[in-house]
Amino acid sequence: MEKPREQAMCLLPFRNHTFIILHLILQGMVYTEYTWEILGYCQELDFSLCYLLLPYLLLVVNLIFFTLSCVTDPGTITKAKESLFLQVYEFDEVMFPKNARCSTCDLRKPARSKHCSVCNRCVHRFDHHCVWVNNCIGAWNARYFLTYLLTLTASAATMAIVTTVFLVRLVVLSDLHLETYVDDLGQSQVIDTVFLIQYLFLTFPRIVFLLGFVLVLSVLLGGFLCFALYLAATNQTTNEWCRGDRAWCQHCPQGAGAPSVEPRVHRNIHSHGLWSNLREIFLPAAAHYERKKK
């Protein structure tokens, strides 16, 4: 019986550090370009030093919480902790049945838990597996991941703002927006926005490319951050949000001849107000202790 199980385990995805290395390389390249290209020019234009150093402060904080997200146990469910985790959350009997067992770990599944096929473990309050930190996001490291995502978004947005202000100030000080050029018909034309962007790209290609990259990154990270904050404010996980719309279908009558049974729709029974929900994310131990006392 063990041999087929071991063979099946070999087919599962496995954790590796590829995306962590890629993450650090990309972050290093962006900050190298910022330091090499933007910092010197901005100092010549008398930018505030505090303003210019803000991305580095955000980088330090970001790397701290990135490391914590990578190395912190997300809430691995073991035989020794099984009974403890079973008491934390109420079973809704729709998405999380009370007597369900994990077929891989052979443990009872606490409410809001899920088995991660990449890490090969059941995780308490499972949110998702993040390849960028090479770890599951669960009850114990969700606060670190949220802060990591916040500082990463802020650093990208700050770089985009500094770079944009630098280019705008450069255009204003050099009166580029007031210049004219002769078109193909020999007529004098005032420089428009498209022509100005083309000129800046030819003059400062690396700076304009950096600006485009951090702008796109800011939008993508900002969207993901808003989604993560919404889930935190409503006390949902990514796993629950994805499964919520289809969880009730498992309890719907099958076929025309099935008995008329009212389907049980999944409801979020874990939300207890904004501050209580956020406290559960950022102070999970205190929240779990209070739930055990009830």
Catalytic residues: 130
Residue 89 contacts residue 111 (beta carbons within 8 Å): yes
CA distance to 51, 134, 151, 162, 240, per residue, from 54 (Å): 6, 27, 11, 10, 36
How far apart are alpha carbons 130 and 133 in whole angstroms? 6
Helix (H, G, I), strand (E, B) or coil at 181: strand
How many Cα atoms are found within 13 Å in the side-chain-facing hemisphere of 226? Answer: 5
DSSP designation for 123: E
Q: How far apart are CA 119 and CA 139, in angstroms?
A: 16
What 250-258 contacts at long range (C-beta under 8 Å, 24+ apart), as own/partner pairs, is: 250/94, 251/94
Cα 221 from Cα 47, distance rounded (Å):
27
The C-alpha atoms of residue 180 and residue 264 are separated, in whole angstroms, by 69
Look at residues 87, 86, 81, 98 and name the one whose alpha carbon lies nearest to residue 293: 87
Closest to 211 (Cα-Cα) out of 274, 160, 248: 160
Distance CA(219)–CA(229), nearest Å, equals: 15
Give, in degrees to the nearest 5, the angle at Cα 284 between 59 and 240. Answer: 90
